[in-house]
Structure 1
Amino acid sequence: MRRFAAGATRAVCLLAVLAAVGLLPWLSGRDPALTVLRARSAEQEPTEEALSAVRRDLGLDAGPLSLLGDWAAGLVRGDLGTSWVSGTEILPSVLSGLQVSLGLMAAALTVAVLLAVALVAPVLVRGRGSAGAFAAMAAAVPEFLLATVALLVCGVWLGWLPTSGWQGPEYMVLPALALGVPAGGLLGRLVADALPAVLDERWVELWRGAGVSRTRIAAAALRRVVPPLVPQFGMVAVGLTGGAVAVEAVFAVPGIGRTALGAAKSQDLPLLQGSVLALLALGLVTGALAALVRRRLLGPALRDAGLALPPPRPVRAHPAIPVALAAVLLTAIGWGLLRDPYAVDTTARLASPSWANPLGTDGLGRDVLARLGHGAAATVGTAAAVCLLSLLAGLALGFLPGVAAGAADIANALPPVIVGILVAAAAGPGTGGAALAVALISWPPLAAHAAALVQEVRASAFLTAQRAIGAPPPWILTRHVLPSVAAPVARHALLRLPGIALALASLGFLGLGAQPPAPEWGLLLDESRAYIERAPWAALAPAVALALLAGLAVSGAAYAQGRAAKGPTGRTVRKETARVARGAAVGA
């Protein structure tokens, strides 16, 4: 029954996404005929006669349902329509951009695999250890930030590699590194963190005693580790489709992500439909391939039961690390909040750091420190609201695991950038649209956590006793199940706050989030790219702030994991025992 519910929900969500893509000309809130008229002839007056002629030419006067039917029929025939701006066929443009993006993703996956091998090899040799802080930081740094830093350092300052275009293998290096390093850090960390527990299993000791070579043991350990992690590998590949949009925009790579972004900004909705459809298909095909590979690796005996890994050894982090990072961020934010972020001084444009302007000024002469401080409210404040919405959705769907599982499959196949493009095309770019885009796909980890806790609490002995003494289900739900689930999931949501802030910053960087003159961190980084050679400090300030935020996410999560691994203290156990006893007494 649960599998049927998950399959039905998955199908409904997929159809809803496809319908949203097909109805973009009507969901945009703008008159599509006016967009086409301006694209064809900017000087022509938008009279009613001219607009009606455009509607008849495009078939827009037939209504949204007819438009959706025609679009779906075109998909079946392999016809994606005609561009509103250029008047050319959509399919060749999509295929050309897709070919470039697939080449970039292949190069990025090569970088990711090489980095993951380098992180895993020491663990296999020593039989213990973990991927370390480098892997955690590499996995946490967003692609758009790494791309900007690589552009600044390797392209502008050192001049080692070209910074834009797609004309030869050398043009692929920096984009592939920007995409592959975060993916490789995550892959290496997943495998390296799981290996020590596997190498401590009984069969490894028996093989060593029997004289089996270290190479065969290492190969068998990897064969044991990889199948349960294959879904995570699939999500990493899906993440590459979203990260490719930002990386292609930074390095001016003519891929499908940059095509979709340009179509969204120019309101060329047919081209946007085809590009988003291609990106969605990439994500869904990747997820399906990951599931197929996992089934083949497990074999017929374990396909239904699965293969669980032993819990990884906890990563310990000293509490001073997140405290120090938070102190640096709060100091810069507090100092910036005392200054005016909108004051323009054209005589001090692109001024270098000084006592009057500790982080210099931007292209309009505005104080970078002030904009950095006030941008924290837009970036972190919005992230807190998104985090709360994700928490509420995760808690609600945690009690409906069948429904949540199907919807989560579709949400996991959609990176924030793709959803942000769709929301921006429908409602226009802005902070609210970016927040909605991130909230729509940030709930699955919280829902999965809540579902596991609900199942565990419902199977506990004290709830069985509550039912035996006649406690009503609402009492059990509100006094036992929900409190036991809400607190751990809330802590989980809090740990995801920096990651959500980084996702919002990536949308702002692409022009899909906060709009000028708002002092949002991603937007600050995007604005500074125009004069990055003359005033690199304007780009370094938001880049360092985002890097500190990523470091805070990594160190805070590691410290929380270490604290959780220590287990509850005696006082906590006594308090929980007393709470359960009081609940049983009141229920009786």
Structure 2
Amino acid sequence: MLLWRAVLVAVLLCGVGLLPWLSRTDPALTVLRARSAERAPTPDVLDAIRGQLGLDAGPVRLLGDWLGGLPHGDAGRSWISGADVTPSVLQALGASLLLMGGALAVAAVTAGAACARTLRLGAARRLGERRSAGTGSALLATLPDFLTASVLASVVGVQLGWLPALGWYGPRWMVLPALSLGLPAGALLGRMLDDLLPGAFAEPWALAAAARGVRGRSVARQALRRCVPGLLPNVGLFVVGLTGGAVAVEQVFDIPGLGRLSLQAAVAQDLPVLQAGTLALVVLAAAVGGLARLTARLLIGPALRDGALPSLHRPTPSRPTAPPLLYGGLLLAVVALGLARDPLELDTTARLRSPSWAHPFGTDALGRDVLARVGHGALDTLALAAAVSVAALVLGVLLGLLPRFSGPLVDTVNAVPPVLAALLVTAVAGSGRATPALAVTAVAWAPLAAHTSALLRQERATTHLAATRGLGASPLQLLRHELLPAVLPPVLRHALLRLPGVALALAALGFLGLGAQPPSPEWGLLLSENQPYAERAPWASLAPAAALALLGAVAVTAGGGVRRPRVLRVRRRAAADPAQPVAGGSADEVPVPVAGPARREDA
């Protein structure tokens, strides 16, 4: 495990270190443009820069010198400013860690609010009244962080003047950025926790506690403890992602964080700064991943060791609900109305017009109809986002089935900000229409693999799996009939919840020049184009944001119908021949009489 992790870290650092050469550009020319764009790139000037930076020694020698200085605390000097790299990276890391702490506090409160109803009903043993929760949290989870940051900065910071909207000088300056990052993250974690809680309340210990009159709050507290270990890997991913991936929020609020520093270094090919920032994120990812695994072991370690866990994912019937049809119909209506209009028609006399009968969603800065652009951008946005989500789901499940192999890989991949991943993919594969899809897929599978591994670890320790194994079931039969049916539904719901985020990530890369380019009406590109006008013409940004929110609502409410089906074939076979053992059957497939509404499950 340690050797595999060391190999992955070495490959990542070598890839970052060789980025200027992999991109087929002259590093000396890039550095000259960053230092002085007006200076002519003559051969003598470029040779002088190569000699100053040691580029004439070749990439391997340069990388070796950088690695050799790390044991002494020397991360080199910036190619652009000439200053020592270590102090600037540590200062940026400190700012990012403070922001991450505030965002995690907001995320914890938001997650608690998202699952509060389920906790209350579970404590009162009235889960039968529970409906498909999470629509509101799904809408919140789909909010683009840079749009949330822009709205909070312009409304709360500038117009109302309640909190500072620019800079990084104290606790008050941390509130708005922490809200921008913590609200979507907390909504996503809360939705995942809400998905697991009903299974915990239906376990035998919870039923026995209720029958003995144990207080509902105590049962709810233990149910939380039962479900949290399955979420800890994703919490660890959020910690690293909020530290190194908060580039947009740091840009909006002018925060000197590590994500912003890494982006600037990557664009300018300031190799020492980029390497040091990446190394800091790798170390943070390894530490957080180890802490998450240790915490999970402390919470349910004995049960995992003894195979004494009941399954959180019981067989329940799929029940389609009306909200997916409602949200889907509304989204289709918007797309159909937009397709009937011209998305490229310019009217300079109607720039930034507010919504009206002629332009229901208003116009953008060039006078183009926003409804038309939303409608025409739906096909490309949804098709590419769906393809990337499917690829990420398949990779995540397959690699999640191999936790010893994928665990260190998840930690390493999660330490790479999406922008840096896009630059690495562009350097290797070149720029093209497939580049954003490859870059997002390269990092989008990691949360799904972590979720799969966590659920699989608990499912393998269930009592019914030990009984099925004792009946002679082979590992393949256990995987096909027990493990995958229990793990796939929650992971699929997780993937559906991340679908709007995938669409937004693709758009962010287009905004950086690595994907869709103007005049393409891709939704995320519309958000990026209209973000500077959020205060003057908020409708131009709110329209594509609302479309993404509708997409998230459709995905989550449709995912609510993804359940583990009841296996009737096993019971029929057992009834036909009671003496015949059935490999692949489980104790959860036998109905147990339970008095009252506790038998009704919506998990």
Alpha-carbon distance in structure 2 between the residues aligned to 1:170 and 1:425: 40
Structure 1 residue 436 corresponds to structure 2 residue 443: no
Cα 1:205–1:325 shift into 2, 3 Å? closer
Q: Which residue pairs with 1:531 in the alignment?
A: 533
Distance 2:137 2:406 in 1: 31
Q: Secondary structure of 2:296's partner? A: helix
Work out the CA distance in 2 between the residues paired with 1:111 and 1:162. 18
- Within a 5 Å distance, the mapping from 1:341-420 to structure 2 comes to 341-387=343-389, 389-390=391-392, 393=395, 403-414=405-416, 416-420=418-422
- The aligned counterpart of 2:553 is 551
Q: Which of these residues, 226, 229, 250, is aligned with residue 227 of structure 1?
A: 229
The residue number in structure 2 matching 1:584 is: none
- The match for 2:585 is none
Residue 32 (structure 1) aligns with: 27
Number of aligned positions between the proteins: 553
Change (3 A) 1:139 1:44: closer
The 1:221/1:289 distance shift into structure 2, 3 A limit, reads same
* 8 Å contact kept, 2:9–2:282: no
Distance 1:369 1:209 in 2: 57
Between the two proteins, what is the percent identity of the paired residues?
Answer: 51
CA contact under 8 A between 2:318 and 2:564: conserved in structure 1? Answer: no
Q: Is the 8 A contact 1:438 1:503 kept in 2?
A: yes
CA distance 1:63–1:338, change in 2 (3 Å): farther
Q: Cα 1:22–1:250, aligned 2, differ >3 Å: closer, same or farther? A: same
Structure 2 vs 1, CA of residues 175 and 13 (structure 1 numbering), >3 Å: closer, same or farther?
same
Query: Deviation of residue 124 (structure 1)?
Result: 4.3
- The 2-side partners of 1:234 and 1:176 are apart by 17
Report the counterpart of residue 577 of structure 1 in structure 2: none
User: Residues 140-539 of structure 1: matches in 2 within 5 Å?
Assistant: 140-151=142-153, 153-155=155-157, 158-207=160-209, 212-241=214-243, 243-299=245-301, 301-302=302-303, 304=305, 308=309, 310-311=311-312, 319-387=321-389, 389-390=391-392, 393=395, 403-414=405-416, 416-420=418-422, 422-423=424-425, 431-444=433-446, 445=448, 495=496, 497-508=499-510, 513-539=515-541
Amino acid at match of 1:310: S
Q: TM-score, normalised on structure 2? A: 0.77
1:45 corresponds to 2:40: yes
Deviations 1:481-538 (A, max 9, x none): xx999x9999779846444323323444566543333332222212212222222111
Q: For 1:397 and 1:290, how far apart are their aligned partners in 2?
A: 19
Residues 353 and 360, structure 1, Cα contact 8 Å, conserved in 2? yes
Question: Are 1:82 and 2:77 an aligned pair?
Answer: yes
Deviates more, 1:523-532 or 1:271-280: 271-280
Distance in 1 between residues matched to 2:279 and 2:431, nearest whole Å = 20
Instruction: Give ranges in structure 2 of 5+ residues lacking alignment.
Output: 574-603
- The 1:118–1:255 alpha-carbon spacing in structure 2 relative to 1, beyond 3 Å, is same
Q: Distance in 1 between matches of 2:194 and 2:393?
A: 30
- The alpha carbon displacement at 1:176 in A equals 0.9
Deviations 1:329-359 (A, max 9, x none): 2333333334443444433322333444332
Distance 1:542 1:211, change over 3 A: closer
Name stretches of at least 5 consecutive residues in structure 1 with no aligned partner: 468-472, 575-588
Whether contact under 8 Å (1:429, 1:515) holds in the other structure is no
| Structure 1 pair 546–506 and aligned structure 2 pair: CA distance change class (3 A) | farther
Match of 2:543 in 1: 541
Supply the RMSD in Å over aligned alpha carbons: 4.4
Q: Structure 1's 383 and 45: CA in aligned 2 closer, same or farther, altered over 3 A?
A: same
Alignment partners' CA distance in 1, 2:237 and 2:394: 23
Distance 1:146 1:230 in 2: 26
d(CA) in 1 for partners of 2:86 and 2:400? Answer: 41
Q: Deviations over 1:370-429 (max 9, x none)?
A: 332333244223224424544664677578665445434433454545523544677787
Correspondence for 1:72: 67
Distance 1:420 1:161, change over 3 A: farther
Q: Residue 561 of structure 2: SS of its match in structure 1?
A: helix
Note the alpha carbon deviations across 1:142-165, whole angstroms, 9 max, x for none.
433433443454345655433332
Is the contact made by 1:287 and 1:413 (CA closer than 8 Å) also made in structure 2?
no
